[in-house]
Amino acid sequence: MNVNEMYIEELVLKFEEDGYIVLKLEGVDDLIDEINSDVEKLLASGDYKTNSKIYSYNDSPRIVESWKYSHASHKLAFNHQVIDFLSGYFAAEPLPFSTINFLRSTEQPLHSDYIHFGTIPHLRLAASWVALEDIDPRSGPLQIVVGSHKNELVCFSDISPSVARSLGEVKEHYTAYENYIRDLIKDLKSEIISPILKKGDAIIWNANLLHGSPICENNQLSRRSQVTHYHFADTDIFYNPSFSSIREGKFVKRNVDFLPSPLVKK
């Protein structure tokens, strides 16, 4: 076994045990500078899409679908180190379907991505969170609940007696979910860490891993980052957990638009 194979094996074991890994992306400094410049231009123009207010916890915008405006953001979503790890681990082609660019901490409570993006087979989902600058520990850094990907899948029917019928009920159910997770972490006495992340570091996490940024010492400090979510080519159904029930086997399908392969600049 050569050094590279040993390194890959270590990453796989860590991903299985802890639910996440950290990669130091190679040769991305200029690309990241370009992303930050593109985001500044987007902010100045005011012509950008943000995420739903249901999942907003402060006034710092989350720029959704930055890849449509920034070649560099699009290219980062297809970073070969991330794609190579995901394709090897999941034995299927990773398909990026969402980019979100953050300016400051979200201050979002701990949660799992799988509560947002369901699949059949289950858990055909992963994410890559890339630091676009050195992350100040006072800025509300990302927190990870180590090993929480091994917890039983949670669905809204575990918490609420009825499926949401409006956006108002989606918000109510999601708040109840956040409280449920908060209590679960206390009961399980889970280990919560904040990895020290430098510009170009990428955290890749499992679909069911609990993460967030609930503790922020100074929310005026920048915490620039880009998250890309991935499904996989062997997935049969994509469903919306807000209107579905794992326990009852009822799944409301959602349409997914995957990112096209980025054009290579000459």
pLDDT at residue 168 in the model? 86
List CB contacts of 113: < 8 A, sequence separation 6 or more.
Answer: 125, 127, 205, 207, 208, 209, 229
Domain boundaries, the chain: 3-243
For residue 150, the tally of other CB atoms under 10 A from its CB is 12
Are 211 and 91 contacting, i.e. CB atoms less than 8 angstroms apart? no
The model's pTM: 0.95
The residue type found at 85 is: F
pLDDT at residue 164 in the model? 81
pLDDT at residue 51 in the model? 87
- The angle at the Cα of 128, spanning 83 to 143, to the nearest 5 degrees, equals 150
Task: Give the pLDDT of the chain (266 residues) as one tens digit per residue.
Answer: 445 776 888 999 999 999 999 999 999 999 999 999 999 999 999 999 998 888 899 999 999 999 999 999 999 999 999 999 999 999 999 999 999 999 999 999 999 999 999 999 999 999 999 999 999 999 999 999 999 999 999 999 899 878 888 888 999 999 999 999 999 999 999 999 999 999 999 999 999 999 999 999 999 999 999 999 999 999 999 999 999 999 889 999 999 999 999 865 43
Helix (H) / strand (E) containing 94: strand 94-102
CATH topology assigned to domain 3-243: Jelly Rolls (2.60.120)
For residue 265, the tally of other CB atoms under 10 A from its CB is 7
pLDDT at residue 6 in the model? 64
Q: What 3-state class would DSSP assign to 67?
A: helix
pLDDT at residue 1 in the model? 46
Q: Of 235, 87, 262, give the one whose Cα is nearest residue 254.
A: 235
Are 124 and 243 contacting, i.e. CB atoms less than 8 angstroms apart? no
Helix (H) / strand (E) containing 135: none
pLDDT at residue 167 in the model? 81
For residue 248, the tally of other CB atoms under 10 A from its CB is 10
How would you class 158 by CB atoms within 10 Å of its CB: exposed for 0-12, middle for 13-18, buried for 19 or more?
A: middle
Q: What 3-state class would DSSP assign to 151?
A: coil
Q: Of 2, 14, 70, give the one whose Cα is nearest residue 226.
A: 70
List CB contacts of 86: < 8 A, sequence separation 6 or more.
Answer: 94, 126, 204, 230, 232
pLDDT at residue 263 in the model? 67
